[in-house]
Every structure is written in structure tokens, then in C-alpha cells.
């Protein structure tokens, strides 16, 4: 039990590390409206001022069709280098305001070539936006790209090669995303084997909408460094009537190997992976000392931020600053960044930041 509950302002000020955030899921509503007007893209509401509420309503509708429709509009306005750079720059600006000191932002380059951009031009445009915002932040944040391949498409090897080509220029790793059911990660085994031969890092969306087989394949067949969401690992854990806990072999392996779980509480509620924050598996997984990290997933669709995610956990589980510090160090340890750079952020930024808050 914490000696005192941190205030929302303390949580906002606390250093944060974000490993799972989608670029096309984090636009400012005003930016969506302005970019849509520039290209003549029709939005689902007549008044641009209502676009933010529409995204929230669609994401909370309980309809997967409506939830996915939201990305049709954000991706549509991200088809030029100028737009991509703007969205990337604003993303970092918003994270800095939210106290994020390290972030890995993911997106699928293949979804941004409809107007003739090459994959290289897409990555370059995003990097330009990141660089501008990082420079303006004067050292308060480090940002890296994660390049995502869509699991229902057949371009994963191409995107994996793109990630390798850019790994010394701002790209930290690779990911696959999209519908899990019917599109197992083993369909992209050649890409993962290529990345392993190149000593590259990758995460895999697994255990969100589909169960243990997706997690098992991601780890044991594909060699994932981290699990995107991984919330369904709870299906391999039994809580007995007397309160004792038994881990199945897969859950025990994930915990023993310290495989990071990129957990996104509010997004998981919207997609049905959890019923509420209080009942989210993150509570039990944290108590069992899995390598749990806290993330936003899609800030626009979920109307969320790292401050909101952490505040919700504090309210649901009575966490204190020490717990938030634990989540943050977990995430930094799990980042796709060289060891010495991770250690420097932990020792020079995260620990002093939390110490100062505790002293106050």
C-alpha cells in the first residue's frame, strides 16, 4: 500500500516511458479537420469542431467496424510528406507536454503510399517531424520509430528490410499489427527470421483480440522481444479460491524470461479485451511481477494520455509513486535502445524525477 496517493499533477509531472503508441491513432482532432479540408476528404461530421467527439463515440461504440472506421480518416489525411511530418511533430510535442521522456512510435509505412510516396519517403517524412520536435524540446525526450507491417498483407519482409535500412537513422525496430484471428504471426516467419539474423529488435501484437496461441507463436515461433498488449496471458493463470495463484507453462515462461507486456488499459476496454480498469489483468500481472509496462495505444481514439492511463491505475489499484516508477523503469529496461542509453535515462532522468516528486 502506498504511503500517499499521488495527485494528478504529480502523475503529469512524473517521467514516463511509452513503448506502444500508434502515430495514426494519436492525431489532434483539429489537425484531422485541417488536413481533411486541405485535401477535400469528407469527414463523418459536418462541423470540424465535432470531430474529436465523433472519434470518441465511434471508439466507445462497442462496434469493431466503427472503431476501425476511425483509422480510415486519420490514414487518409496522412498521405503526403508535409502531413506526415506535421503529425509526427505534433505527436512529440503532445508527449513532451505529458511528461514522456522516451517514446517508440509505430505506424505502417505501407498505409501511407496512396498518393505516390515511396516507403523511404514516408519514413523520412516522419523522422523529419520527430527531429524538429525533439530539437525544440531541448533534450527532454528521446523518440524512435517502430515500423509496422500489416499482418493481413504480404509486405512484412519489405517492411523488415526497410527497418534495417533505417535502424541507424531513427528506427528502433519492427512490429506487425492488424487482426490476429486468422492471421497468425507465423505467416510472416521469413521476416522475423531475417530480423533475427540482422540482430534486430521486434515486437508483435499478440494476445489482445486472440488468445494464448497467438502469444505462443509470437514468442516460441517468431522470437518476439516484446508482446504488444499480451493481455490474454491471463488465460494461462489460475487464481484458486484460497487466493493462491498457479501459472501455466506459457505464463511462467513469459514471467521467467521477463518478456515485456505492452499493456494499454483504456484501449483494451474499448476493444473488449478487458471490462474495466479495476478488472483489467494488469492488476494481477503487476502483483505477480510480470514485466508490465503502461501505454496509450491510440491517444485520439481512446481520448487518453500517459497521465490518464497512470491516474486510472492509481485510482483502481491504489498505486503510489513507487508503483509508477516501477512501471516506468520496466518500460525503459524494455526499450529498443542500446543498454548504455537506457541506463542513462533511468539513472539521470527517471530516478531523479521520481525522487523529486517523492520529496515534495
User: Of 93, 104, 110, 208, which one is the catalytic site residue?
Assistant: 208
Q: How far apart are CA 16 and CA 355, in angstroms?
A: 14
Question: Angle at the Cα of 25 (from 281 to 200), degrees rounded to 5?
Answer: 75
Question: Angle at the Cα of 257 (from 308 to 289), degrees rounded to 5?
Answer: 45
C-alpha cell at 255: 514471467
Q: Which residues contact 49 (CB under 8 A, 6 or more apart)?
A: 33
Long-range contacts of 215-223 (CB under 8 A, 24+ apart): 215/250, 215/254, 216/250, 217/184, 217/185, 217/186, 218/185, 219/250, 219/253, 219/254, 219/259, 221/185, 221/186, 221/189, 222/185, 222/186, 222/188, 222/189, 222/192, 223/192, 223/196
Q: Is 208 annotated as catalytic?
A: yes
Residue 360 parent element (H or E): none
Catalytic machinery residues: 208
Amino acid at each position: 500500500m502506498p504511503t500517499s496517493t499521488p495527485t494528478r499533477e504529480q502523475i503529469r509531472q512524473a517521467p514516463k516511458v511509452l513503448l506502444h503508441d500508434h502515430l495514426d491513432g494519436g492525431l489532434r482532432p483539429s489537425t484531422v479537420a485541417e488536413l481533411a479540408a486541405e485535401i477535400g476528404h469528407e469527414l463523418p461530421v459536418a462541423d470540424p469542431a465535432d470531430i474529436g467527439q465523433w472519434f470518441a463515440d465511434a471508439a466507445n461504440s462497442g462496434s469493431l467496424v466503427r472503431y476501425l472506421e476511425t483509422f480510415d480518416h486519420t490514414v487518409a489525411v496522412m498521405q503526403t510528406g508535409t502531413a506526415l511530418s506535421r503529425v509526427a511533430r505534433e505527436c512529440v510535442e503532445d508527449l513532451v507536454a505529458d511528461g514522456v521522456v522516451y517514446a517508440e512510435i509505430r505506424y505502417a509505412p505501407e498505409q501511407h503510399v496512396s498518393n505516390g510516396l515511396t516507403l523511404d519517403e514516408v519514413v523520412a517524412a516522419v523522422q523529419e517531424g520527430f527531429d524538429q520536435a525533439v530539437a525544440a524540446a531541448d533534450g527532454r525526450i528521446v523518440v524512435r520509430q517502430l515500423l509496422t507491417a500489416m499482418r493481413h498483407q504480404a509486405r512484412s519482409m519489405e517492411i523488415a528490410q526497410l527497418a534495417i535500412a533505417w535502424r541507424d537513422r531513427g528506427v528502433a525496430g519492427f512490429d506487425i499489427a492488424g487482426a490476429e484471428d486468422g492471421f497468425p504471426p507465423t505467416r510472416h516467419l521469413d521476416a522475423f527470421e531475417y530480423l533475427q539474423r540482422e540482430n534486430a529488435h521486434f515486437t508483435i501484437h499478440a494476445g489482445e483480440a486472440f488468445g494464448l496461441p497467438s502469444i505462443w507463436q509470437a514468442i516460441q515461433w517468431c522470437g518476439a522481444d516484446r508482446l504488444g498488449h499480451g493481455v490474454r496471458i491471463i488465460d494461462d493463470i489460475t487464481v484458486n479460491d484460497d487466493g493462491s495463484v498457479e501459472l501455466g507453462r506459457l505464463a511462467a515462461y513469459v514471467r521467467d524470461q521477463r518478456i515485456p507486456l505492452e499493456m494499454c488499459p483504456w484501449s483494451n476496454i474499448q476493444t473488449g479485451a478487458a471490462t474495466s480498469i479495476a478488472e483489467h489483468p494488469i492488476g494481477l500481472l503487476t502483483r505477480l511481477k510480470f514485466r508490465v509496462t503502461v501505454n496509450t495505444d491510440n491517444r485520439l481514439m481512446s481520448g487518453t494520455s500517459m497521465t490518464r492511463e497512470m491516474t486510472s491505475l492509481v485510482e483502481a489499484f491504489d498505486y503510489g509513486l513507487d508503483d509508477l516508477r516501477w512501471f516506468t523503469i520496466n518500460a525503459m529496461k524494455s526499450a529498443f535502445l542500446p543498454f548504455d542509453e537506457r541506463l542513462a535515462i533511468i539513472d539521470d532522468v527517471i530516478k531523479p524525477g521520481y525522487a523529486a516528486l517523492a520529496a515534495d
